[in-house]
């Protein structure tokens, strides 16, 4: 039922036939009713929704690191939305009710600085010892720059820790956490805290430790 008040000072609401009364910017307007949309229940549609849900959960776990490294201005969209879109075709697979996320493929490195080659990782139970070749790194990113690092367990999909503003002149950083297993694949994400001249702000180095 439609309720129409004074058209100048009042508000209208409700429905009439195929229309809906509403108030927009202080004015009464009449809109057509929205067309109802049914959600497809085909196996293909269900699988697509399951893949998206699993991928969104994985990116959400990693988001404290991603939001440290990037802002929406780097991609002209929310950071999480960008990485979900980039990872959908390569990082998630499987069949209906059996979706699998490859956590190691959530982020594709863009490392024209070559930072990753100067990162060495020495794992132990609960500890990840990360070493940089010194003084190569300060030469690459600038002596007044610092590093932001994240330690990510690609076997479990758990973010271990994020460290920011680390001096580039240091050559060793230790991540200690119960989330690190000696047989886990560990990724170290590294990015200069400040942009390096002539380098894209979306760059991110990724170093991987894979147990033998």
What pLDDT is recorded for position 6? 52
**Tokens read off for 192:** 């200069």
Rounded Cα–Cα distance for residues 34 and 1 (Å): 17
**Confidence bin at 200 (pLDDT 50/70/90):** confident
Residue 135 vs residue 76, higher pLDDT: 76
- 115-209 belongs to CATH 3.40.50.300: no
Of all helices (H) and strands (E), which one includes residue 62?
Answer: helix 43-69
Task: Give the helix/strand (H/E) hosting 172.
Answer: strand 172-176
pLDDT of residue 9: 46
Mean per-residue pLDDT of the chain: 85
Q: Work out the pLDDT band at 150, boundaries 50, 70, 90.
A: very high
Burial class (CB in 10 A: 0-12, 13-18, 19+), 145: middle
Least confident of 51-55, 96-100, 159-163, 198-202: 198-202
Q: Is residue 187 pLDDT above 90, yes or no? A: yes
Does the global pTM surpass 0.75? yes
Q: Where are the domains of the chain?
A: 3-32, 43-105, 115-209
């Amino acid at each position: 039922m439609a309720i129409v008040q004074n058209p100048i000072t009042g508000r209208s609401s409700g429905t009439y036939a195929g229309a809906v009364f509403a108030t927009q910017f202080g004015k009464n307007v009449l809109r057509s009713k929205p067309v109802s949309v049914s959600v497809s229940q085909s196996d293909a549609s269900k699988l697509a929704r399951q893949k998206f849900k699993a991928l969104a959960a994985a990116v959400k776990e990693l988001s404290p690191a991603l939001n440290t490294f990037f802002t929406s201005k780097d991609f002209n969209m929310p950071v999480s939305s960008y990485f979900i879109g980039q990872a959908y075709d390569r990082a998630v697979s499987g069949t209906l009710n059996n979706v699998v996320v490859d956590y190691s493929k959530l982020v594709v490195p863009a490392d024209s600085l070559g930072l990753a080659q100067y990162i060495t990782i020495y794992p132990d139970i609960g500890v990840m010892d990360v070493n940089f070749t010194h003084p190569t790194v300060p030469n690459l990113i600038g002596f007044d720059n610092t590093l932001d690092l994240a330690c990510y367990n690609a076997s479990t999909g758990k973010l271990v820790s994020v460290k920011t503003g680390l001096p580039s002149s240091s050559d060793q950083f230790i991540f200690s956490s119960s989330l690190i297993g000696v047989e886990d694949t560990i990724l170290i994400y590294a990015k200069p805290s400040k942009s390096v001249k002539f380098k894209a702000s979306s760059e991110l180095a990724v170093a991987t430790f894979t147990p033998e």
